[in-house]
Amino acid sequence: MSVLARVPARNRHYPSSYSSSGVGDDASEFARPATPPGGTVSSIAVTVDQRQGSLFHDIVNARASADRDDWDGEGSPPISEGTVVAAIQLLYALPEDLPPPEVAPESTAEISFEWYRDRRHVAVLSVDDTYIRWSAITGTDSIVSGSEPFTRTVPGPALDAIRAVVG
Amino acid sequence: MLSRVVDDEPLANFVLEENKFKPDGVHWRAFRPGSDGERSVFRVQDLCDEYIAATGQAFVGNLRDKQILGWARLSASAVRAGTPLLARPDVPPPRHAVIVGWPSEKERQKALAMLLASRATARRWP
């Protein structure tokens, strides 16, 4: 299924079954998309399989739940449109053999992708409109972390940590 | 109470959101520092669960108009071991302490929060 996907309006939650073959009025409210690292994006053309479609909607919903100041009652800043663009780019950079992550907004104005096996095996990839960061615990007392400018790819050390978690 | 938090003291990190519990413990987000750079905890040495719950409700839950759903419990030594973190008293309220020493990098904060969560045990309440 091929769709021209644009991030929908604020304060909307879409079920995973949602799909569109075009851009409606709601989607057109997504104005002024941010400039991601490496170039300008005026729209995001994506080919959506079922898994990616589900994660895409998780990203949209993560933004919708965190699109204003203090969205979590703890004074956290909102998720920006640029962060949504980066998260979608990250979604399509993930190797297909990885299990689907859990997507969530972060109090740090990032969107995170999390793989949780148990409390001693957890990996998190987070993006904002500039950086990708990774944090993981890969066994008892074994933690790793790192960051680099986001270039629409998953850094090797981050991928190693995710694979160590998911087994 | 002692003016410093000693290694064998148990600490309770109260949980107000269901999604901060996992089947095998407490999610790492429960241990992430707040915007003030501290993670609030309570010193619960010699307290029964009922008293711990009442303390959490009075000083944490009621402030946010929420019921406490439980807490993560870990020792002060588990906070210190192999980390730049430490727990220090921070009263009032009574028995309050904070975990401080967090690095500035977000990714390192998350990794340390994962480490603390891996060392903690969950207690759901009631």
Q: So what's the ipTM on this one?
A: 0.93
Query: What is the amino acid identity at position B46?
Result: D
CB contact at 8 A, A113 and A51: no
With bands split at pLDDT 50, 70 and 90, how would you rate the model's confidence at B6? very high
- DSSP assignment letter at B93: S
Q: Which residues pair with A138 in a beta bridge?
A: A121
Q: What is the pLDDT of residue A30?
A: 42
In this complex, do A119 and B22 lie within 8 Å of one another by their Cβ atoms? Answer: yes
Q: How many domains does chain A have?
A: 1
What is chain B's mean pLDDT, rounded?
A: 96
Residue B90 sits at the vertex; the CA angle it makes with B87 and B116, to the nearest 5 degrees, is 30
Q: Mention every residue, 6+ apart, whose C-beta is less than 8 A from residue A141.
A: B82, B115, B118
Which pair of tokens denotes residue B90? Answer: 């921070």
* Partners of residue A75 in chain B, C-beta under 8 Å: 35
The pTM (predicted TM-score) of the whole model is 0.83
Contact status of A52 with chain B (Cβ, < 8 Å): no
Write the pLDDT tens digit of every residue in A90-120.
999 999 999 999 999 999 999 999 999 999 9
Question: What is the residue extent of each domain of chain B?
Answer: 10-124
CB contact set of A123 (below 8 Å; sequence gap of 6+): A114, A115, A134, A135, A136, A138, A158, A161, A162, A164, A165, A166
CA distance A90 to chain B (A): 17
Greater confidence (A76 vs A134) lies with A134
Lowest model confidence (mean pLDDT) among A38-42, A66-70, A154-158 = A38-42
Q: Which domain holds residue A77?
A: 2-166
Can you tell me the distance from the alpha carbon of B51 to that of B41, in angstroms, rounded to the nearest whole number? 15
Position A52 scores a pLDDT of: 86
B36's CB contacts (< 8 A; 6+ apart) are: none
